[in-house]
Chains A and B, each alone.
Chain A
Amino acid sequence: MVAVGASAQNITAAGATFPYPIYNKWFTEYNQLHPNVKINYQSIGSGGGIKQTTEGTVDFGASDMPMKDQQLAEAKVKVMHLPTVLGAVVPVYNIPGVSKELNFSGDVIADIYLGKITKWNDPRLVKDNPGANLPAHDILPVYRSDGSGTTFIFTDFLSKVNPEWKSKVGSDTSVKWPAGIGAKGNEGVAGMVRQSPYSFGYVELIYALQNKMAYGTVKNSAGKFLLGSPEGVTAAAAAAAKTMPADYRVSITNASGAASYPISSFTYLLIPLKFADPAKGVAVKDFLTWMLDHGEREATEMDYAPLPAQVQAMERRTIATIK
């Protein structure tokens, strides 16, 4: 290990809540290896992360969705996006008497939230789930009431597969939901779905895995119904890596490839192109290299999907340009 610098570095960072558990682990481990570098990360949400980073309040930030062109143009501190790990969203439901794993196509999910599919025994649901014995009962769609990257990924996917969704609702951290009720956080949606018979909702893959929740499959662009898994998410990222733009701002929902899970997304660190304090720049650069060398390996054990090798190689070149 190369010594980073003699003086103690207190680096502040803020942003997304989704990757907080693994970031916290990385920053703690890195601090044990380099006692003079302490990274203090506050999980205040992606919106706050973007704001504080571009205003220079914190040294770097984190966001679940890439910044928009306008935000990049207006930023006082110019930043680059560096993908760290991947997340995914899975459909959850509660239908008394149905224990079979259900299949959902993106088009059907969009129509459930558009209020166009209102009964569980709708012909389109029955067609995707032969032999599931779906009841003639009203569907209660549940969505995230708090703004979140999870909602962004989910609505981004729905916008790609359903033209009406794209024109009427669109994608963002909060959208104007045509139907359903809102619950706060992954735990709120999961709790509401568990509590309410005949409900349908969406949660983060990691939340579902760690709470051992049953969830449904989603149809990918190759027409296969896939159960969400870190492998499927990394496969989606690998499929998108071939056409990865230099600034990494890419949506990988509904990615090509038979093994690609369709509701996947990168989560990013927002790193200033040039640090005001060069010593901090050196420290952050060293951390990022360490993250790719060692950190990525820890992702899987915490249920995060690691970056595919191609993206890691590309990032090493980008990190070298940080001043």
Chain B
Amino acid sequence: MSLEREPEPSSPPTAPSLPMDAAPIHAPAIINFVAASEPVAQEGPPSPIRQYLSARGNGGLADRTFAAAMLVCALSIFAIVLFILTILIARSKLSLAQFGFGFFLRSAWDPVSGDFGALPFIFGTLTTSLLALAMAVPLALGVAIFLAELCPARLRAPISFLTELLAAIPSVVYGLWAVFVLVPIMRDQLGPLLVKYLGWTGFFGGYNFGVGMLTASIILAIMILPIISSITRDIMLAVPVSQREAVLALGATRWEMIRTGVLRNARIGIVGAVILGLGRALGETMAVTMVIGNHPEISKSLFAPGYTLASVIANEFTEATGDMYLSALIEIGLALFLVTIVVNAIARALVWAVTRGAPARSI
């Protein structure tokens, strides 16, 4: 028995002979990268990368050229911003001289008498954008959390695809949809409901024609939802799985794991996504113009028509004839530029204040 069985222990090594045969082919190559000083002559010709690197000559020159080229690319951002700012200021000289800084605080907009001010437009831009953020951010976070953490694999592809499709729809299509679908809903169903239950806040007074600040905010919220949610999802997926496993191993529930393990690690990226969404909301022109009512007034009621900085430029630039009128419109552009910078700066400052020296701890 024992003699007959003796060959058996030696036979298993022969069974997995295939992987063992394959290994030697790769082994020398790996050794080459790890220990570069080893001679390679016996191994055959050097790797293509090695051949390329030794053929191209001085490495230092290539490095410096590359660094300089990238620096030029980075500086071009500064150049573009400065160029835009210079042109905006140069072209709005007339109205800057006439109205001074007060331009940003005046409510007049009368092309006939040449009296201009940006306040109603700044108010409309900020109100609609911030309201849109208030509506879109919770929804977008929900979409992103579901897609990144909870979604069955079968559903993930279709939902992601639809989210990205929403982001690709041109804004004029959103505008048309808003005019034909959202405005009547606002006027006949949603509006009366808001008056009934939230009328006491004073934000839903006056006559509701279906167009106005609230309708514009809703369409903006729908437009920025896909941007915020798809970026947030990508950021959440970039959080290492080990973070999730560690938190779960400490006994966290699913929600606690998402909150402390994922959202907390991804928060800076999420704020970045929100800022991108805000950027689109501030500059959005076409869809807003179609439903906001285009009336430069500052009203407490969200049903009232309003006007945004981007809309007034789009509406009036082509037929603006007087020099002062043109100059005022360009200063509106300057106002939009400054509003964007200030809002972004505030958002960055907020992130800095919240995340400064705060390592992982429960939120």
- Tell me the smallest distance from the CB of A192 to a CB of chain B, in Å: 7
Binds A, one of B40-48, B76-84, B179-187: B179-187
Contact of B207 among A71, A138, A148 (CB under 8 A): A138
A-B contact count (CB 8 A): 95
Cα A182 to Cα B316 in complex, Å, equals 12
* A138 CA / B209 CA spacing, docked (Å): 10
Does any Cβ of B come within 8 Å of A147's Cβ?
yes
- Measured between beta carbons, the chain A residues less than 8 angstroms from B10 are none
Q: Is there contact, CB below 8 Å, between B110 and A176?
A: yes
User: When the two chains form their complex, are residues A147 and B295 in contact, meaning their CB atoms are under 8 A apart?
Assistant: no
A175 within 8 A of B: yes
Closest residue to B306 on the A side, CB-wise?
A: A181
C-alpha gap A45/B209 in the complex (Å):
30
Nearest CB in chain B to that of A152: its residue: B319
A173: contacting residue among B109, B113, B183, B319, CB under 8 A: B319
Q: Mark each residue of chain A from 74 to 111: 1 if its CB lies under 8 Å from any CB of chain B, else 0.
A: 00000000000000000000000000000000000000
* A184 interface residue (CB < 8 Å to B): yes
**Among the listed B111, B211, B314, B321, which residue makes an inter-chain contact with A181, where contact means beta carbons less than 8 Å apart?**
B211
Complex interface bits, B108-148 against A, C-beta within 8 A gives 1, otherwise 0: 11111100000000000000000000000000000000000
Task: Give Cα distance in the complex from A191 to B180, angstroms.
Answer: 9
Other 13 A-B pairs with CB < 8 A, given A146-B314, A148-B319, A175-B110: A47-B321, A146-B318, A147-B111, A147-B319, A169-B112, A175-B112, A181-B209, A182-B293, A182-B305, A182-B307, A183-B290, A196-B183, A196-B210
Q: Of A173, A177, A196, which is within 8 A of B321 by CB?
A: A173
A46 contacts B by Cβ under 8 Å: yes
Q: Please list the residues of chain A having a beta carbon within 8 angstroms of any beta carbon in chain B.
A: 44-48, 50-51, 68, 71, 138, 140, 145-149, 169-177, 180-184, 188, 191-192, 195-196, 199
19 contacts between A and B (CB under 8 A): A44-B318, A71-B321, A145-B311, A146-B314, A146-B319, A147-B315, A147-B319, A169-B112, A173-B320, A174-B316, A174-B320, A177-B295, A181-B294, A182-B315, A188-B290, A192-B211, A195-B180, A195-B210, A196-B210
Nearest Cβ on chain B to A178's Cβ, whole angstroms:
10
The answer to whether A147 and B112 touch (CB under 8 A), given A181-B293, A196-B210, is: no
Closest A residue to B114 by CB, please name it: A172
Check: B230 CB closer than 8 A to any chain A CB.
Answer: no
Interface on B for A, CB 8 Å cutoff? 108-113, 179-180, 183-184, 187, 207, 209-212, 289-290, 293-295, 305, 307, 311, 314-321
Q: Are B187 and A184 in contact, CB atoms less than 8 angstroms apart? A: no
A182 to B216, CA, bound (A): 13
Q: How far is the CB of B8 from chain A (nearest CB, A)?
A: 88
For the complex, what is the distance from the CA of A183 to the CA of B317, rounded to whole Å? 15
- A145 to B212 CA separation, bound complex (whole angstroms): 14
- CB of B187 within 8 A of CB of A196, answer yes
| B321 contacts A182, C-beta separation under 8 Å | no
Instruction: Report the separation of the CA atoms of residues A146 and B184 in the bound assembly, to the nearest whole angstrom.
Output: 23
Contacts of A182 in B (CB 8 A): 293-295, 305, 307, 315
State whether A46 and B319 are in contact (beta carbons under 8 Å apart), knowing that A145-B294, A177-B295 are contacts in the complex: yes
Q: Is the CB of B315 within 8 A of A45?
A: no
User: Contact: A184 with B290, CB < 8 Å?
Assistant: yes
User: Taking A147-B315, A171-B112, A184-B315 as contacts, is the C-beta distance between A195 and B321 under 8 angstroms?
Assistant: no
**Which of B290, B295, B319 contacts A47, CB < 8 Å?**
B319
- Across the interface, do B295 and A170 meet the contact criterion of CB distance under 8 Å? no
Residues of A close to B111: CB separation below 8 A: 147, 172-176
Chain B nearest CB, measured from A18 CB (Å): 11
Within 8 Å CB of A145, what residues of B?
289, 294, 311, 315
A59 vs B34: C-alpha distance in the bound complex, in angstroms? 72
Residues on B with C-beta less than 8 A from A46 are: 319, 321
CB distance from A87 to the nearest CB of B (A): 15
Nearest-CB distance from A156 to chain B (Å)? 11
Chain B: minimal CB distance from A30 (Å): 26
Give the CA-CA distance A169 to B115 in the complex, in Å. 12
Q: Is the CB of B112 within 8 A of A172?
A: yes
Q: How far is the CA of A245 from the CA of B126 in the complex (A)?
A: 50
* Cβ contact of B318, chosen from A48, A169, A176, A181, cutoff 8 A: A48
A47 with B211: in contact, given A170-B112, A195-B184 (CB under 8 Å)? no
Which B residues are CB-close (under 8 A) to A169? Answer: 112
A23 to chain B, nearest CB (A): 17
B294 surroundings in chain A (CB, below 8 A): 145, 181-184
What residues of chain A lie closer than 8 Å to B113, measured between beta carbons? 170
- Nearest-Cβ distance from residue B191 to partner chain A, whole angstroms: 13
Cα separation A44 to B320 with both chains bound (whole Å): 11
The minimal Cβ–Cβ distance linking B209 to chain A, given in whole angstroms, is: 5
Known: A46-B319, A147-B318. A184 touches B289 (CB 8 A): yes
Q: B315 touching A180 by the CB < 8 A rule?
A: no
Kindly state the separation between the CA atoms of A170 and B114 in the bound complex, as whole angstroms. 12
Given known A-B contacts A174-B111, A195-B179, A196-B209, A146 and B295 have beta carbons under 8 A apart = no
Determine if A50 and B321 form an interchain contact, defined as CB atoms under 8 angstroms apart.
yes
**Nearest-Cβ distance from residue A61 to partner chain B, whole angstroms:** 12
Which residues of B sit under 8 angstroms from A50, Cβ to Cβ?
321
